[in-house]
């Protein structure tokens, strides 16, 4: 099970929702969030931070270390901001901040087609999903490169 938590970036202009896989890590593990507008003014520390398309997540690696006993042995030994994000322990809800909202709206736009022409709807949904991920990969979103 994943719990959703929202955080506001340091400048207060943007918000991002996160999933916490199996609630292994507490929300306090996210020390700070920096949107593209405020991330250029920080000194990036790869030991505590992860950058995804100009968004920066600063993890409290001391807290992550305290909760690392809940991780599988291989993850515990390789604890890093990349592992926390890429393995879904603390990651965006969706592919990017706001993706869960954007994708729901985009799917809703296609939903009316399901009642009129179900076959066309499934073709359009498949095409939308494939093209959307291609676009997100091209934009450089980290989670678009999964799988």
Over residues 71-89, the pLDDT tens digits come to 999 999 999 999 999 999 9
Average pLDDT over all residues of the chain: 93
> Do 7 and 16 touch, CB atoms closer than 8 A?
yes
Last residue of a domain, one of 75, 92, 109: 92
Tell me the H-state helices in 40-91.
61-67, 73-77, 81-86
Place of tokens 């954007």: 102
Number of domains in the chain: 2
User: With contact defined as beta carbons under 8 Å apart, do 28 and 7 qualify?
Assistant: no
CB 16, CB 91: distance < 8 Å: no
For the chain, give the percent of residues with pLDDT over 90: 78
Give me the domain span that covers residue 67. Answer: 2-92
pLDDT at 102 over 70: yes
Residue 70 and residue 48 share a domain? yes
14 and 46 in one domain?
yes
* pLDDT, tens digit (0-9, with 9 covering 90-100), for 5-35: 999 999 999 999 999 999 999 999 999 999 9
Give burial (CB, 10 Å; 0-12/13-18/19+) of 30: buried
Task: State whether 51 and 121 are in the same domain.
Answer: no
Higher pLDDT, 90 or 117: 90
Q: What are the CA-CA distances from residue 46 to residues 24, 57, 72, 78, 120 (Å)?
A: 22, 10, 23, 14, 46
Claim to verify: residue 134 and residue 88 sit in the same structural domain: no
The two three-digit tokens of residue 147, written as one number: 């799988």
Is residue 83 located within the same domain as residue 19? yes
Same domain, 10 and 69: yes
Same domain, residue pair 82 and 130: no
Same domain, 83 and 108: no
Q: Please tell me whether the overall predicted TM-score, pTM, comes out greater than 0.85 for this model.
A: yes
């Amino acid at each position: 099970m994943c719990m959703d938590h929202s955080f506001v970036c340091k400048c207060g202009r943007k918000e991002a929702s996160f999933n916490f896989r199996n609630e292994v890590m507490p929300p306090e593990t996210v020390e700070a969030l920096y949107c593209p507008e405020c991330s250029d003014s920080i000194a990036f520390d790869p030991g505590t931070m992860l950058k995804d398309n100009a968004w920066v997540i600063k993890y409290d690696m001391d807290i992550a270390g305290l909760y690392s006993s809940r991780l599988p042995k291989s993850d515990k030994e390789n604890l890093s901001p990349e592992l926390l994000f890429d393995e879904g322990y603390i990651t965006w809800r969706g592919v990017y901040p706001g993706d869960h909202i954007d994708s729901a709206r985009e799917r809703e736009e296609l939903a009316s087609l399901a009642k009129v022409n179900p076959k066309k709807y499934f073709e359009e949904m498949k095409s939308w999903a494939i093209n959307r991920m291609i676009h997100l990969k091209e934009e450089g979103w980290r989670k678009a490169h999964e799988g």
